[in-house]
């Protein structure tokens, strides 16, 4: 084989791989799909600390026809399990807030945290994304 033939074969292979990659990527997100953003909040009657997560993007998730996050209870359980098993903080009630509009969710997060900051008896504690991130709920 000559150098020219090897070059053509490699160029053809790279072109075909590029076409296949483009084809596969076209089907990963449907037209019109938007990213879903989420943050969590955990409070307990037995503790003055209220934990919250930063706003995160849920990978490969979309809202249902009614605008709800499918299997949202599983995201609450993820946060609850993190608190119980990693931080040894049982008996927390966990809430999930979600939206396709990040700005709207940021405003909601500020409002919710402000309600807890009004009380002198509670302390807000951030859970860093390096410590905890939401994972796509398995079917």
The phi, psi pair for 105, rounded to 5°, reads: -70, -35
More confident residue, 94 or 137: 94
SS3 assignment, position 1: coil
Kindly report the length of the chain. 139
Quick check: 23 pLDDT over 70?
Answer: no
Per-residue pLDDT, 12: 46
Report pLDDT digits (tens) over 44-93: 999 999 999 999 999 889 999 999 999 999 999 999 999 999 999 999 99
Q: What are phi and psi of 36, to 5 degrees?
A: -110, 130
Per-residue pLDDT averaged across 130-137, rounded? 93
């Amino acid at each position: 084989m000559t150098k020219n033939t090897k070059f053509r074969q490699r160029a053809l292979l790279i072109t075909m791989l590029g076409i296949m990659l483009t084809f596969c990527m076209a089907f990963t997100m449907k037209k019109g799909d938007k990213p879903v953003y989420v943050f969590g909040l955990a409070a307990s009657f037995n503790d003055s600390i209220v934990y919250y997560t930063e706003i995160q993007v849920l990978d490969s998730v979309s809202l249902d026809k009614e605008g709800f996050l499918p299997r949202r209870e599983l995201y609450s359980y993820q946060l609850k399990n993190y608190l119980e098993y990693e931080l040894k903080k049982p008996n927390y009630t966990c809430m999930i807030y979600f939206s396709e509009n990040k700005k709207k969710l940021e405003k909601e997060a500020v409002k919710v945290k402000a309600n807890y900051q009004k009380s002198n008896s509670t302390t807000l504690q951030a859970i860093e994304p390096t410590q905890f991130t939401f994972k796509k709920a398995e079917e």
